A and B are shown apart, each in its own frame.
Chain A
């Protein structure tokens, strides 16, 4: 048995997306820039995909820029506004402490180039507020970038309100919506979003493809210089199969959004209830404002990598924010940002579901996690100290 519960990392390519892609991996291999009929058929596919994606986002087709993924879109959004800001003497950027590294590391690079960056504190329930953003805005602020939904703990931010604050202060607003698009209703116009990043493989589309939405009038500069593709905003021959697959996957996800949300929310809540029964465990992130499929817990007295390996032995594919899985000494910056101490953050587990997940699988996962946590605690000197009262429990 294998249960894939790491859908926040990546998702299975849907059959709909695959079937949409196949012709463009086979006979329809044209370059959309070519004037001949083979190229023009590729151009039509490109235009069609762009139009459909724009409709799903609530924007104009020309506001959709295809990129090689969410990270590139984040880089381009931030770098573009920063370049504009520098010319205008606006070199202050506001973001949050729990953004994806595609945002945080771009901001770190800009700091070295002379920008000042304010990273807003994240509340312990994994939320930031529009008033926090408003208080941080200065006359020098050019950009606010706040993620739509957090990739590790799944909390959903008040994007429309933050967008409204930015609009009122004349500051550009970008949101990394990689974990949101295809999972939550998104409308860039209604939500006052100037720039938005999305990634195809997070909603059952292919990898290596994403979108930067940039509202008309927002200054955009290319990261990849080359041909006139994407109106000069992104050089390089378009990845037609991936673009077509992403458009098909997004249509499918949005068409089923309501039923999938209903199904996933029930499964997620069942999973949360089951894992909450493990003693000295805690759910990370706000209980209500979260994406339908993501659950993140900390278990005191154990370490996340060994938890993942033993879960994998039981057929459960999950992820963790422990240092051992991050390749650094520090555990997840997201868990630290919401105030979890290091020793607790090391014992984290993320399970992210998909519409493929069944109730039986959820029950199996609850049992598997319960068993593995109990076993790891039985060999943990930390747990022994906690039980003996030598150390105090952090998670009550």
Chain B
């Protein structure tokens, strides 16, 4: 069996929403180059809806595919729904990830959460801090 599902390979080879964004409503970045993966998510939010999303990823095939899939899952959705995106949803939508690659989906979830947090902070909106990840160290994600 191949390392990755066809879905993963499709999103890796043809990533959706890849790129950058002028004047984003929020930006989130997780990971560090030392660990071998970094994701950056840009959000354009209007009327509480995610109108557009872009990502840039430094990382392995599953990191790129997870970013691509995660952006697809939140595009056009209300902010409240995007906040509920879990890494499991990303994994399922990709038809699974190898056990040692699950952390890539966690990074995708957390990058989106941090971009939303950035949006809240920029706009002075109140939020529940416990909903957001602690990205101080790699072990946090890689422990998954």
Question: A residues touching B (Cβ–Cβ < 8 Å)?
Answer: 301-306, 309-310, 313, 322-324, 327, 329, 331, 341-343, 346, 379-384
A329 B35 Cβ-Cβ under 8 A: yes
By Cβ-Cβ distance, the 3 closest A-B pairs, closest first, are A343-B33, A305-B60, A324-B60
A384 to B33, CA, bound (A): 13
* Contacting residues, chain B, for A304 (C-beta < 8 A): 60
B35 A323 Cβ-Cβ under 8 A: yes
A313 to B2, CA, bound (A): 13
A306 B40 Cβ-Cβ under 8 A: no
Say yes or no for B61: interface residue by CB 8 A criterion: yes
B58 A380 Cβ-Cβ under 8 A: yes
A204 to chain B, nearest CB (A): 27
* Contacting residues, chain A, for B9 (C-beta < 8 A): 309
Q: Which of B13, B33, B64, B101 contacts A379 (CB 8 A)?
A: B64
Contacts A306-B64, A327-B100, A343-B34; A384 near B56 (Cβ below 8 A): yes
Contacts A309-B12, A327-B100, A343-B33; A381 near B38 (Cβ below 8 A): yes
Q: Which of B76-92 contact A (CB under 8 A)?
A: none
B93 to chain A, nearest CB (A): 20
Best-buried of A331, A343, A379 by chain B (most CB within 10 Å): A379
Contacts A306-B12, A327-B100, A329-B142; A383 near B36 (Cβ below 8 A): no
Question: B residues touching A (Cβ–Cβ < 8 Å)?
Answer: 9, 12-13, 15, 18-20, 29, 33-40, 56-61, 63-64, 100-101, 138, 142
A323 B36 Cβ-Cβ under 8 A: yes
A383 to B19, CA, bound (A): 12
A323 to B39, CA, bound (A): 17
* Contacting residues, chain A, for B39 (C-beta < 8 A): 381
A301 to B37, CA, bound (A): 10
* Contacting residues, chain B, for A346 (C-beta < 8 A): 33, 36
* Contacting residues, chain B, for A331 (C-beta < 8 A): 36
* Contacting residues, chain B, for A302 (C-beta < 8 A): 58
B110 to chain A, nearest CB (A): 14
Of chain A, the residue at the smallest CB distance from B68 is A379
* Contacting residues, chain A, for B20 (C-beta < 8 A): 384
A305 B61 Cβ-Cβ under 8 A: yes
A98 to B40, CA, bound (A): 34
A381 B64 Cβ-Cβ under 8 A: no
A343 to B138, CA, bound (A): 13
Of chain A, the residue at the smallest CB distance from B103 is A329
